[in-house]
Structure 1
């Protein structure tokens, strides 16, 4: 806060979920700094899945049926009620690892036991294609960005444990016409309106994690900030200057200008992960071979410069982002680039955007 004030910062953008849930935006706003990022109470939309369910119920937003559980006995009763596949979610923040979807009852209970202290939600299983759709919000108006799809499982063919995300692509050519408008009408705007009625206007990025089922669109989760890795592909295609859009949202003027515009190019991103990720990532290994050009750039996540060496410091190390006129070309750019990167024991998925590349 002292830095923002002493340097006369025009706009503070809060990215990670933990500072939002901790109330950093409240402190900055209280000092007169314009902020893109919801208040502590509004950020509970991500910080508490049970709160999100309450908001959706009040707003009439379609979502999965769920049971709140505070004991393992509650969890057992709930998973037996819904049946397999079991969907068990930690109620609080868990770095993208708080959800398990499994047909193994023992695994579902073990996951619940791990997170029982923060509360558990058990949900009905929903089947369909998942979509991530971001909306800018100034507390009243919402503005959609471009849809994306991310890949949460660690390994090809959606196998292995959940991760923070192993890749993504945008746009989604298989979505039905009018999808964005329907999500705005049935999900984003009612959610923002409900938070305003509760006295907690949401100013920032509303991440709608959705699934397209045979019964229609359902909300899987909300996040209160840009999602990783979807942001890499969405912003790669954004033509409208981002800073202007975020400043309009932060100052309540989202309706006073043009909507976000996107290139006709497609984009994909592939995440390079450390050996052992997501369970026990091996840290402190050197990375070499990173290259960038007009079609490819690299977004660093868990890296650090130590002397003349670049060192991997965590699980999801970096993501290679590529754009092109079609997905087949974008995939070639991305995978040719990531294949040159040397990091002992690292792994990445080779099927990102494969189904739209034929």
Structure 2
């Protein structure tokens, strides 16, 4: 079967890599891709936000499945354009992707479905913001209602900072602070059947010890030995299935990857946010542990036949991914810095490198974005996988490279 992956980042490289390893996949195409994806797929220079261009490419290539990676094309309705051509697509419709595209919409869905989440207020004026901050108190949680590439949330005890962030957004959701560790639980769904994946944890802030500003994610690991044994079953029962059922009831069935960001609070599990696509960087270690082929799961979700596909099977052990970012990230991104050592890292046992913000400058691989790459490793335990991942990180070099040293530490 022929597949087409839409996007340019690490998530898309991980998806393309997994599809390339599937014996039933004869061709992997990607648009527009990156140099790492080019090692496992044929690249095409198409704007991922142009639904008609993506659909036309899929038609010309004769692909059997289109996989839309990033959130922006999904919210823009790229999946709808592909479906209109009669081509199966993994990724929700524009209407269903509002679960990520609008935090206020997601709160409304959760309320209707009885999904446990933080109390919240939707604010569009300075007076409403002030009232909500008074109501919930510090720490203040202020979220841009729309897409913000993982950086639209401010959690702070500084009221002025909270007010400033709110003022910079057209509409915000202000909510009560949720204590406790955060967990990412992804699920593949066709709008009816829901298959949860392994729980993972990512590290959102730029610095060790969760210091500094939010990023798109600086590393992740799976599984979580410390998580309650019943967590996945509980979230499937109380969060994932009710949300999928509510979206179907609204006439906007959600088919694709439903990402539940969770907080394990003293009062129980609460939803922090929903995303409508594979998370980055959690996808990288998750797919490193997936033992069953990826294509049947994605195609089953895209064609409404997921119940006929066996649930995912996982390798024993653990996987850890450590992101290396360019100088200045997340405020800016240094471009054109030569990257060396990926081949050395990938010569290590159980280590591979997933590229994100990379480009070619002649024969040289150079930085081309904030999060440049992720070094992913597997092992019998989280500690073993972590050690292997950091051995790989030590082999990769580029000017100004930054990474956290505490991904999965002490697990």
Provide the residue aligned with 2:392 in structure 1. Answer: 337
In the alignment, what sits opposite 2:132?
78
Report the equivalent of 2:370.
315
Q: 1:159 pairs with 211, 215, 218, which one?
A: 211
Corresponding residue for residue 99 of structure 1: 153
Deviations 1:185-230 (A, max 9, x none): 0000000000000000111000000011111110000000000000
2:149–2:216 CA contact under 8 A, matched in 1: yes
3-state SS in 2 of match to 1:286:
coil
- Aligned 1:140-151 pairs, distance under 5 A: 140-151=192-203
Aligned to 1:133: 185
For 1:182-221, list aligned pairs within 5 A.
182-221=234-273
1:65 to 94, 119, 127: 119
- Unaligned 5+ segments in structure 1 are none
In structure 2, how many angstroms separate the alpha carbons of the residues matched to 1:7 and 1:274? 35
TM-score, length of structure 2 as denominator length: 0.85
Query: Where does residue 35 of structure 2 map in the other structure?
Result: none
TM-superposed deviation, 1:6: 1.8
User: Is the partner of 1:347 in helix, strand or coil?
Assistant: coil
1:306-330 Cα deviation digits (max 9, x unpaired): 1111110111110000001112221
How far 1:355 sits from its partner (Å)?
2.2
List gaps (5 residues or longer) in structure 2. Answer: 1-54
Alpha-carbon deviation of 1:337?
A: 1.2
Q: Is the 8 A contact 2:222 2:382 kept in 1?
A: no
Q: How many Å separate the matches in 1 of 2:303 and 2:181?
A: 35
Choose 345-354 or 280-289, whichever is displaced more.
Answer: 280-289
Aligned residues, how many? 354
Pick from 229, 234, 245 the counterpart of residue 177 of structure 1.
229
Alignment of 1:243-258 (within 5 A): 243-258=295-310
Deviates more, 1:28-37 or 1:74-83: 74-83
What secondary structure, in the 3-state scheme, does the structure 2 residue paired with 1:88 have?
strand
Q: What is the TM-score with the length of structure 1 in the denominator?
A: 0.97
| 289-298 vs 346-355, which moves further | 289-298
1:327 and 2:379 correspond: no
**Residue 287 of structure 1 aligns to a residue in which SS?**
coil
Q: Tell me the secondary structure at the aligned position of residue 273 of structure 2.
A: strand
Distance (whole Å) between structure 1 residues aligned to residue 307 and residue 218 of structure 2: 34
| Counterpart Cα distance in 2 of 1:86 and 1:63 | 16
Distance 2:110 2:287 in 1: 28
**Structure 1: how far apart are the matches of 2:309 and 2:324?**
38
| Separation in 1, partners of 2:187, 2:197 | 6
CA displacement at 1:73 relative to structure 2: 2.3
| 8 Å CA contact retained: 2:258, 2:277 | yes
SS at match of 1:264: coil
Q: Which residue of 2 aligns with 1:124?
A: 176
1:240 maps to 292
**Matching residue of 2:317:** 265
